[in-house]
């Protein structure tokens, strides 16, 4: 009994010390007011990598900014605080997450990561004055009368045609096959990819093969597709966890054509999962290839790596969301509490792009041609090709 | 057809090995181990670390996976399941505990190994190509053979070793086994460790083919339950049969039904519902448990 009491005492003492230490940290930086930015997305389960790269990008960038003294917006300097909510890729939980953000008085949220989650949170966001930045492609989220969602990346219906056109002109691609997971996002990406390929005059030799999202062995899935021997195999909306296995299975089945996707991938994952079989794999990336990454981007990558042990190449794109929010708020300080001011500022907003080399690199909102209004972050459309453990830039383009 | 059969046999061998551990634990303790998939994932990550990161030989890594999971399984039985089962006779207590362990292991795996898909170098290079009628990479053939050997070794162990006989006696009638002098607590721990070890072993084997990631645990558990239900809960031969049946159905479905979209699992689940309506105890299970 005495021993148990001693143990309890020791546990209490440890807990008290921990609490005291944690509470001492903010007091050292108490001079800056806190600006809360939310994240609602998937950070657990099979698609966890998508949301975790979002959260970690936001936390790494916020840590850098806070360490540099905070963010100046109007006449105030803020420390950036990231508030996260794991929606487990479930639309009902995404709604709960957005409601939580509203209760905390948060007006700017990054996420959700998938189509149905992004569609589900729309009423909550609009009723509570929240601007949110999903990684989902349905056009109705960004087209009038909707006005609170801002697409955080390049949509596949924007990148796909650019990639197919490049491959048709430079690699002589004439036939194409599509494979996708049996989920709403990849299926809609496949459908728009098929339409884009047909519009370019490519022959679509296979577009009905799909796989369960939890598939681990893709040889049976790909066997009928590879028999068609297309010049290009498109892995529509493929998750980074599945890409290496799909590539590996295709190559092991004897496929020698090109393989591409319109989603962001991670070089380390491709290297470990498919090795040299992944050489030549084409995907969409951000701005961290050596040719175009700025010193700020390199510093961000270092910071991310120090904080979390390993960088995720998906963050090349994900880092932009927080930067856009903060720079737009800096341009329109009243928008801190008024999203209508934020919306009004979006049309004419322009700021230097800190993550890309060159003075011409700017942050600005696009989307007029796709959505009829500027509701998309101008993230560079960098098409990468994987080679021997790293991405090389194939070509760079811009949306809109 | 050759390709379909080869794919089915390969899938069946790995599925059977996954299901064996789950059905063993169920037979011994009447526990539905929802954390079985997470144990498989942990086994994969151990092999990834030892073979992929530290560069030690693959079979050393495989041994580490099996040993680590055996220890984890023994600890889980001794400190979590045994006290709960001693205090509560309600089945949902052990089910909730198993679900809790699954969530806990997911969180630990995320913290330790991260969110990314992980893979290891191929253990054998090259592809068998029989006139494009049958294409099978040599590493798949090797893993398939190793899985079959593991199943055979497990059956021999259960049939002829003293521990195996004690475990079978416990599975048939726990009270009778206790009356015959079997230390049921000790053998329950050994049985749980053995079940977890099988999950770790197959995780270590398959990381060379499929890689491993945090999210694989839940779906693996669901597939394992599916196989156990087909074969009959708690029956070793049933789990093996269930594994091969599921593997073959998947292979046939993915090839022949691909033209109609992703309906393979729809067909499998619909067939399973009809089958269970006719034979709820599974192929080899007994209606009384």
Q: What is the mean pLDDT of residues A262-280?
A: 90
Closest residue, chain B, to A224 (C-alpha)? B255
Query: How close B42 gets to chain A, by Cα (Å)?
Result: 15
Q: What token pair was written down for B124?
A: 């054998």
Q: How confident is the model at residue A24 (pLDDT cuts 50, 70, 90)?
A: very low
Task: Kindly state the tokens that stand for B118.
Answer: 């992980």
pLDDT of res. A25:
46
Q: For A79-108, what is the mean pLDDT?
A: 96
Q: Looking at residue B59, what DSSP letter applies? A: H
The verdict on domain A156-263 having CATH code 3.40.50.2300 is: yes
Cβ contact A371:A253 at 8 Å: no
3-state secondary structure of A201: coil
Taking only the tens place, the pLDDT of each residue in A236-266 is 989 888 899 999 999 988 899 999 998 888 8
Tokens of A120: 């589900």
Residues B257/B280, Cβ–Cβ less than 8 Å: no
User: Domain residue spans in chain B?
Assistant: 2-214
Mean pLDDT of the B149-174 span: 91
DSSP label of A262: S
Which of B15, B262, B263 is the best substitution to test chain A (most A C-beta atoms within 10 A)?
Answer: B262
More confident site: B237 or A300: A300
Residue A6 pLDDT = 47
CB proximity A120 to B under 8 Å: no
Task: Give the number of residues written for chain B.
Answer: 289
Question: Among B57-61, B62-66, B107-111, which stretch is predicted with the lowest mean pLDDT?
Answer: B107-111
CATH of domain A30-153+291-380: 3.40.50.2300
What are B89's two structure tokens?
A: 């006779």
Q: Is the dihedral of CA A378, A379, A385, A391 positive or negative?
A: positive
Model confidence over B1-30: pLDDT tens digits? 788 888 888 889 889 999 999 999 988 888
**Phi/psi of residue A283, nearest 5 degrees:** -145, 175
Cβ atoms within 10 Å of A56's Cβ, excluding its own: 23
Q: One fold for both A30-153+291-380 and A156-263?
A: yes
pLDDT higher for B46 or A242? Answer: B46
Cβ neighbours of B214 in A, within 8 Å: 44-46, 48
Three-state DSSP class for residue A378: coil
Interface test with A, best of B258, B261, B263, B266 (most A CBs within 10 A): B258
Longest Cα pair distance anywhere in chain B, in angstroms? 62
Over range A297-317, report the average pLDDT.
Answer: 90
User: Under a CB-based contact definition with an 8 Å cutoff, are residues A93 and A100 in contact?
Assistant: no
Residue A9 confidence (pLDDT): 47
* Secondary structure tally for chain B: helices H, strands E: 12, 2
Q: Which residue has 């693996």 as its token pair?
A: B220
CB < 8 Å from B in window 292-351 of A: 308-310, 312
* Per-residue pLDDT tens digits for B81-125: 999 988 988 888 889 999 999 999 998 998 898 888 898 988 888
User: What average pLDDT does the segment A171-179 reach?
Assistant: 95
Reported as type and span, the H/E element at residue B206 is helix B184-210
Per-residue pLDDT tens digits for A319-353: 999 999 999 999 999 999 999 999 999 999 999 99
Q: Does A182 sit within 8 Å of B262, measured CB to CB?
A: yes
Domain extents in chain A: 30-153+291-380, 156-263
Say which of B7, B137, B211 has its CB closest to residue A245. B211
């Amino acid at each position: 009994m005495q021993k148990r009491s001693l143990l309890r005492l020791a546990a209490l003492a440890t807990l008290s010390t921990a609490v005291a230490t944690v509470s001492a940290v903010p007091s050292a930086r108490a001079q800056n007011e806190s600006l809360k930015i939310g994240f609602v997305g998937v950070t657990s389960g099979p698609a966890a990598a998508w949301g975790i790269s979002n959260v970690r990008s936001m936390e790494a960038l916020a840590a850098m900014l806070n360490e540099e003294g905070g963010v100046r917006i109007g006449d105030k300097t803020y420390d950036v605080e990231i508030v996260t909510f794991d929606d487990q890729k479930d639309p009902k939980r995404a709604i709960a997450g957005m409601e939580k953000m509203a209760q905390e008085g948060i007006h700017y949220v990054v996420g959700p990561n998938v189509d149905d989650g992004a569609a589900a949170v729309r009423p909550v966001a609009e009723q509570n004055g929240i601007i949110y930045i999903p990684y989902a492609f349905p056009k109705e989220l960004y087209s009038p009368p909707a006005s609170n969602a801002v697409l955080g990346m390049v949509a596949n219906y924007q990148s796909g045609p650019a990639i197919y056109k490049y491959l048709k002109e430079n690699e002589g691609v004439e036939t194409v096959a599509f494979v996708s997971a049996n989920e709403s996002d990849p299926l809609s990406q496949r459908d728009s990819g098929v339409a884009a390929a047909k519009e370019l005059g490519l022959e679509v030799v296979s577009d009905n093969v799909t796989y369960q999202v939890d598939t681990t062995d893709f040889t049976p899935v790909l066997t009928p597709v590879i028999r068609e021997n297309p010049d290009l195999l498109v892995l529509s909306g493929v998750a980074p966890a599945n890409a290496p296995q799909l590539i590996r299975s295709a190559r092991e089945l004897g496929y020698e054509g090109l393989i591409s996707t319109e989603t962001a991938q991670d070089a380390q994952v491709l290297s470990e999962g498919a090795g040299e079989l992944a050489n030549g794999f084409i995907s969409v990336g951000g701005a961290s290839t050596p040719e175009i990454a700025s010193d700020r981007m390199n510093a961000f990558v270092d910071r991310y790596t120090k904080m979390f042990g390993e960088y995720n190449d998906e963050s090349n794109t994900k880092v932009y969301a927080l930067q856009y929010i903060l720079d737009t708020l800096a341009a329109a300080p009243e928008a801190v509490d008024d999203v209508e001011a934020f919306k009004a500022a979006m049309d004419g907003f322009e700021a230097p792009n800190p993550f890309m080399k060159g003075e011409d690199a700017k942050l600005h909102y696009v989307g007029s041609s796709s959505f009829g209004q500027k509701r998309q972050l101008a993230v560079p459309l960098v098409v990468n090709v994987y080679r021997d453990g790293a991405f090389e830039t194939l070509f760079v383009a811009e949306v809109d | 057809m050759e390709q379909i059969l080869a794919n089915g046999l390969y899938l069946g061998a790995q599925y059977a090995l996954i299901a064996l551990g789950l059905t063993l634990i169920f037979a011994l303790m009447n526990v539905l181990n929802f954390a079985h998939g997470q144990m498989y994932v942990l086994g994969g990550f151990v092999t990834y670390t030892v073979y992929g990161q530290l560069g030690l030989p693959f079979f050393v890594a495989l041994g580490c996976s099996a040993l680590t999971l055996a220890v984890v399984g023994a600890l889980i039985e001794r400190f979590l399941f045994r006290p709960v089962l001693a205090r509560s006779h309600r089945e949902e207590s052990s089910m909730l505990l198993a679900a809790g362990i699954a969530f806990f292991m997911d969180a630990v795996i995320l913290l330790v190994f991260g969110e990314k898909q992980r893979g290891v170098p191929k253990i054998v290079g090259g592809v068998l190509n029989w006139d494009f009628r049958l294409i099978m990479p040599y590493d798949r053939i090797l893993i398939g053979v190793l899985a079959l050997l593991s199943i055979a070794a497990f059956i021999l162990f259960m049939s002829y070793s003293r521990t195996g006989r004690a475990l079978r006696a416990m599975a048939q009638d726990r009270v009778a086994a206790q009356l015959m002098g079997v230390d049921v607590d000790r053998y329950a721990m050994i049985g749980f460790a053995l079940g977890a070890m099988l999950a770790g072993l197959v995780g270590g084997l398959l990381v060379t083919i499929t890689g491993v990631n945090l999210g694989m645990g839940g779906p693996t558990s669901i597939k394992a339950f599916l196989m156990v239900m087909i074969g009959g809960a708690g029956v070793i031969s049933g789990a093996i049969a269930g594994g091969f049946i599921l593997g073959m159905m998947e292979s046939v479905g993915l090839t022949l039904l691909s033209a109609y979209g992703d309906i393979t699992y729809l067909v499998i689940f619909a067939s399973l519902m009809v089958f269970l309506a006719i034979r709820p105890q599974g192929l080899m299970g007994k209606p009384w448990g």
